[in-house]
């Protein structure tokens, strides 16, 4: 066994010991990062998880990297070596020169030369990454890539173990019998661990509000140097939250005047040194004002009555619709396209979809009556198309698809009109309710088996006007 193999073998023994310990998760991840870095004779290692929106990476364990580098800013997984997000191991010999490096200046200051990254997969889905850094340019060998991929798999198992432990502790008193039957992690609704321990209860409360309104957030992702002495940083400021959807840093404060005065001083200094940074100081009374200002919730609490849980806010819906519109415009370039919607639930979606498309198109609507509690009641068309679709490309636009029975009926009917092509775009896909396997070409969001309202969707004619989508209480 050569020296490299010996280091890897020793690292696996150390990692296995850590995984089988009762240490807190953050401590475990730090020790795994240290063992991985030392095995490859690297200068540093970071273990990161995707945030719930799968856009940004949160650090849950690190070794050998300075606090300034770790808090350099929000790391976008789709920009920073996106191949890792696709499930590939990535080796970078020159970090500074590589166009995929999101913060090259900070990497240069940290004297980072090469990088080796691997995806952390849970049930074949990427939930995070591990990255190894070196101070010398290095060509990573196949066995080193295999090593880091194996460490990533061990991290995935460790996270599953942590989820299992949390699940059992939560359900210990009410679900003892079921727990005894658990034989594998696949029985559990596993989700990536939120890598956050808050330093103050107000921060945890604010995070819960952000989650309720489905606002994407990162906790303390960046530290801003405020003063130096002989090139040494003597004071920094780290805002509590960053909201990437609106590019806003948030610092929370209490009513204690001395703390408010000190934080205001730091914020003034930060704005002078970093004029392009958008940062706000908030107290509890400012929370809902912020959400209303940026359209995360509607103005007027009366519209909130009956809403149990937010699924998608206005910003998320707008962003997804723009993405769908861009893809549809590309696919139908140079073709005669007709959008067809079934009234009334689709009105918001089809309107916004059209406004974001970049190709000429036509639009028409149908209205149908569906069975109400009688399985033998037929589906009837109460308003037919005004446009002749023969020989044209038709895109059926739906607000939500659950059983697929109504959609299947409408598609069969439209097919008799002999269009050149017939495809389906839906904003929401409630796949768990599917009875007829209808092919969907464009999907906005997949949702659980819950009754949802808002953005055109109603219950007895109400809630269509909500700008978000939520579960009915």
d(CA 220, CA 74): 9
On the 0-12 / 13-18 / 19+ scale of CB atoms within 10 A, 461 is exposed
> Tokens 């198109």 appear where?
361
From the list 402, 429, 437, 458, the catalytic residue is 402
Q: 142-170 and 3-19 helices cross at what angle (nearest 10)? A: 10
Tokens of 394: 């038709």
- For the question of residue 331 being annotated catalytic, the response is no
Phi-psi sector, 267: left (phi>0), alpha (psi -120 to 50), beta: alpha
Half-sphere exposure of 229 (CA within 13 A, CB side): 3
Query: Do the Cβ atoms of 316 and 324 come closer than 8 Å?
Result: no
Show the CA angle centred on residue 205, arms to residues 204 and 207, nearest 5°: 65
Phi-psi sector, 54: left (phi>0), alpha (psi -120 to 50), beta: left
Query: Do the Cβ atoms of 28 and 61 come closer than 8 Å?
Result: yes
Show the CA angle centred on residue 298, arms to residues 296 and 302, nearest 5°: 140
d(CA 441, CA 2): 53
Just list the catalytic residues. Answer: 402
């Amino acid at each position: 066994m050569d020296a490299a193999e010996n280091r890897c073998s020793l690292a696996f023994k150390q990692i296995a010991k850590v995984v089988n310990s009762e240490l807190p998760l953050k401590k475990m991840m730090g020790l795994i990062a240290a063992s991985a870095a030392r095995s490859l004779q690297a200068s540093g290692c970071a273990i990161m998880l995707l945030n719930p929106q799968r856009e940004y990476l949160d650090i849950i364990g690190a070794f050998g990297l300075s606090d300034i580098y770790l808090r350099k800013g929000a790391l976008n997984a789709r920009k920073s070596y996106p191949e890792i997000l696709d499930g590939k191991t990535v080796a970078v010999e020159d970090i500074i020169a590589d166009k995929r490096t999101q913060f090259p200046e900070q990497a240069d200051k940290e004297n980072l030369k090469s990088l080796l990254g691997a995806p952390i997969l849970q049930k074949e889905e990427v939930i995070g990454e591990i990255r190894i850094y070196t101070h010398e340019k290095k060509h990573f060998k196949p066995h080193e890539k295999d090593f880091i991929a194996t460490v990533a798999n061990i991290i995935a198992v460790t996270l599953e173990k942590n989820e299992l432990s949390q699940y059992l502790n939560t359900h210990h008193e009410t679900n003892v019998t079921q727990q005894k039957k658990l034989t594998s992690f696949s029985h559990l609704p596993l989700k990536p661990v939120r890598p956050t321990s808050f330093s103050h209860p107000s921060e945890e409360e604010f995070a819960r509000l952000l989650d309720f309104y489905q606002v994407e957030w990162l906790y303390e992702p960046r530290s801003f140097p405020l003063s130096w002495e002989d090139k040494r940083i003597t004071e920094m400021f780290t805002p509590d939250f960053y909201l990437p959807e609106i590019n806003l840093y948030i610092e929370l404060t209490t009513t204690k005047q001395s703390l408010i005065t000190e934080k205001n001083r730091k914020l003034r200094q930060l704005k002078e040194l970093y004029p392009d940074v958008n940062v706000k100081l908030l107290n509890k009374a400012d929370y809902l004002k912020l959400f209303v200002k940026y359209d995360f919730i509607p103005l007027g609490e009366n519209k909130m009555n009956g809403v149990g849980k937010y699924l998608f806010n206005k910003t998320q819906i707008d962003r997804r619709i723009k993405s769908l519109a861009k893809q549809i415009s590309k696919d139908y370039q140079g073709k005669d396209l007709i959008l067809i919607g079934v009234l009334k639930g689709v009105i918001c979606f089809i309107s916004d979809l059209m406004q974001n498309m970049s190709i000429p198109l036509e639009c028409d609507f149908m209205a149908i009556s569906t069975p109400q509690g009688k399985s033998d009641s037929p589906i009837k068309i109460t308003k037919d198309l005004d446009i002749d679709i023969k020989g044209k490309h038709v895109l059926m636009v739906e607000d939500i698809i659950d059983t697929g029975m109504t959609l299947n009926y409408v598609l069969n009917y439209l097919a008799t009109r002999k269009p050149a092509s017939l495809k389906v775009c839906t904003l929401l896909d409630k796949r768990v309710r599917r009875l007829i396997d209808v092919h969907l070409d464009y999907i906005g969001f997949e949702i659980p088996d819950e009754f949802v309202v808002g953005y055109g969707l109603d219950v007895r004619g109400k809630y269509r006007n909500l700008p978000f989508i939520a579960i009915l209480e």
